[in-house]
Amino acid sequence: VIGVVIGKTDVRGFPDRKNIGSERYTFSFTIRDSPTCFINVNAWGKEEYIRSLSESFRVGDCVTIENPLIQSKEQEREEKFSPVTPSCYKLLLSENHSVVKTSSCYETDTKLLSVLHLPVKDPQDYYSLGDITANGQSLDGRILNVLAAVKSVSY
């Protein structure tokens, strides 16, 4: 699978239920290879492997994923912490079987650069900040999609 990384989470550690006293580590990212196709990828493993893998690429990089495990996603659970994707599958990476290679999008496929900044949500499924401000009371407690642009960044 070849795609551009459009989102990425931080590395997290969890107690390993199988090996009491040790931890398993994970992080997730989302890759996209066309305007309509993108998928979530979860990596699990030992701390050294996960930290090294997470540091090997960033959002905007192109990745080639070899030997991922393809798994059906559990809709309610999966999409609580990751972007909603059009696929009913997710990819799982394991230390022993999977390989992630990074390359410049220019080297891989310049078409991938064009999908990097496309929204992952339907353009009709957003609220503007003005709508939220004007209708704040009626929207209380609801989960909303907001489309915004960063005008400037300063220190």
User: What is residue 129's predicted lDDT score, i.e. its pLDDT?
Assistant: 80
User: What is residue 104's predicted lDDT score, i.e. its pLDDT?
Assistant: 65
Give residue-wise pLDDT tens across range 31-73: 998 888 899 999 999 999 999 999 999 988 889 999 999 999 8
User: Given a cut of 70, is residue 106 above it in pLDDT?
Assistant: no
- Using pLDDT thresholds of 50, 70 and 90, give the confidence band for residue 10: very high
Quick one: which H or E segment has residue 97?
none
What value, to the nearest 5°, has the Cα angle with vertex 151 and ends 146 and 155?
A: 115
Question: Which has more pLDDT, 22 or 50?
Answer: 50
Looking at domain 2-116, what is its CATH homologous superfamily? Nucleic acid-binding proteins (2.40.50.140)
Share of the chain above pLDDT 90, in %: 32
b/e map of 99-123 (b: 16 or more CB within 10 Å)?
ebeeeebeebeeebeebeeeeeeee
Query: What are the distances in angstroms from CA 1 to CA 31, 62, 68, 153?
Result: 9, 10, 9, 34
**In this structure, what are the phi and psi dihedrals at residue 134, rounded to the nearest 5 degrees?**
-70, -35
Question: What pTM was estimated for this model as a whole?
Answer: 0.77
Q: Are 28 and 2 in contact (CB under 8 A)?
A: no
User: Given a cut of 90, is residue 76 above it in pLDDT?
Assistant: no
Q: Are 64 and 76 in contact (CB under 8 A)?
A: no
User: Beta strand 89-94 with 23-32: parallel, antiparallel or unpaired?
Assistant: unpaired
